Amino acid sequence: MTQRAAIIGGGAIGGGWAARFLLSGWDVRVFDTDPGVEHRITAVLANARRALPGLSDRPMPPEGTLSFHATLSETVDGADWIQESLPERLELKRKIFQKIQAHCPEDAVIASSTAGFTPTAVQGCATTPAQILVAHPADPVYLLPLVELGASPANPPELVARAKAVLEGLGMFPLHIKAEVDAHVAGRLQEAVWREALWLVRDGIATTEEIDESLRMGLGLRWAQMGLFETCRIAGGAAGMKDFIAQSGVALEQPHSRLTDVPDMTDDLAETIARQSDAQSGAHSIQQLQHIRDTNLVAILRALKWADWGAGAHLNRVDAAREGPEIDITRPIVTAEHAVPLDWTDYNGHMTESRYLQAFTEASDRLMEIIGADAEYIASGGSFFTVETHIRHLMEVKAGAEMRVETTCLAAEGKKMHLFHEVYSDETLLATGEQMLLHVSLETRRAAPPAPHIAEKLAEIAAAHAALPRPKGVGRAVGQGR
């Protein structure tokens, strides 16, 4: 049964929530009195469709249905999850929650995107405070996993657990903030860095560009994959965290930071920041910067997936929780199915040739798993090595397009496994890859027969595929005409 989300407020955050829910298979209703809301949501959705599907190595669920509504009552009627993303005005939020609760189901989760207010504060004058909690996301909501989940004593544990399960189902990482505090965790950290940066600009120590470069070229890269405390732990060397704290204690006593003070945001300081920011980034439109941001985030997140670390490890868990393609050996086996990631494209705007090889390699790895040559088997000392590959590039495909790999086992004799992969987008054949693999003993690093249960399963698939029509392109050499 399709679930329904109601989005109250269609700005950047509300639009991001709409995209996250919609691309996760939910039906989405949007309420915003601004006549330009449909245009804004459409723009956010275009960015999300370009970026989010490529983060997953499993197929995304079918996209839900998006609709816009003129009344709040119609928007929240029958909703399973209601996400408020209005401006940071407490009285406005409290008033809208009263109206929402007059029309929404009693078991709906009502969440506020508030960046600053505590759960108790937003529950304020609500008829049923237990129904309302905080779900503060990172921007862009459709791409970054973090969402700070805040509850008050009024929220029953089962509601918090249900909210956490929904957010995890969206591929997000709900960080349960167990103590109520203004601005939560991420906001307070960001505020601290922002205040210090303002002083650096005001005192003429660094420009906006120089401050950003210090983060882009160093701190940000370290924090992106290890956070703050793990980074400091490494800085402490073999002696560990206690030694780092002992060393840094002296520095903390020095006036190296002005976090206790806030610079006056004078017209001169505001003008200086704006002028430097224009010089730094003014050559790009906001839309261009959003595309650059999303492209870079996808590349960083996919690198972290490869390392199975930080946000990448979370995304791998999300993939593992999604059902993969059904295994049917009576036809070519679907060994991969996902969208083309942004970092798989080249200067021509389509999937680069090296990524086809990667797709075929991953398809072969998947077939190995299907026949039992999985990580446990490899750890026991046996594996398949690719000894020859032939690729044909037939059609181009661009980032975000759905692709799937269908694999035929042409032969399984002794130590050999002969595979033929076909990459499709819908029913269009994009490329083929023919591979010969040999089973190898990892102890001797020489070809050796596979274990009996591996050989038996592989032979079963080869026998089933022998009854299929021989795929076009098998055995072709470089330079042959079509």
CATH number, position 347: 3.10.129.10
The residue assigned the tokens 């991953």 is: 362
- The domain boundary residue, chosen from 258, 283, 308: 283
Q: How many helices (H) and strands (E) does the chain have?
A: 16, 14
State whether 133 and 224 are in the same domain: no
Q: How many domains does the chain have?
A: 3
pLDDT at 254: 65
Q: What is the Cα–Cα distance from 143 to 335, expressed in whole angstroms?
A: 26
Backbone angles phi, psi at 247, to 5 degrees: -75, -40
Residue 306 neighbours by CB distance under 10 Å? 9
pLDDT tens, position by position, 426-475: 999 999 999 999 999 999 999 999 999 999 999 999 999 999 999 999 99
State whether 68 and 163 are in the same domain: yes
- The domain boundary residue, chosen from 283, 304, 332: 283
Q: What is the Cα–Cα distance from 15 to 79, expressed in whole angstroms?
A: 17
pLDDT at 249: 64
State whether 173 and 220 are in the same domain: no
State whether 84 and 228 are in the same domain: no
pLDDT at 187: 92
State whether 144 and 202 are in the same domain: no
Q: Which residue segment(s) compose the domain that 452 sits in?
A: 324-466
State whether 168 and 210 are in the same domain: no
Q: What is the Cα–Cα distance from 86 to 171, expressed in whole angstroms?
A: 23
Contact 2, 81 (CB under 8 A): no
Q: What is the mean pLDDT of residues 217-230?
A: 87
Q: What is the CATH number of the domain that holds 252?
A: 1.10.1040.10
- The reported pTM is 0.85
State whether 372 and 253 are in the same domain: no
For the chain, what is the radius of gyration of the CA atoms? 27
Q: What is the mean pLDDT of residues 411-415?
A: 92
State whether 213 and 251 are in the same domain: yes
State whether 66 and 108 are in the same domain: yes
The residue assigned the tokens 């072709």 is: 476
Q: What is the mean pLDDT of residues 249-273?
A: 74
State whether 8 and 152 are in the same domain: yes
Question: Rounded mean pLDDT of the chain?
Answer: 91
Give the three-state DSSP class for 85.
coil
State whether 216 and 140 are in the same domain: no
Confidence category of residue 229, pLDDT binned at 50, 70, 90? confident
Q: Is 347 exposed, middle or buried (0-12, 13-18, 19+ CB in 10 A)?
A: exposed
Q: What is the CATH number of the domain that holds 76?
A: 3.40.50.720
User: Does 315 reside within a domain?
Assistant: no
Q: What is the mean pLDDT of residues 116-140?
A: 94
Decide if pLDDT at 255 tops 70: no
- The domain boundary residue, chosen from 141, 164, 184: 184
User: Does 473 reside within a domain?
Assistant: no
State whether 23 and 131 are in the same domain: yes
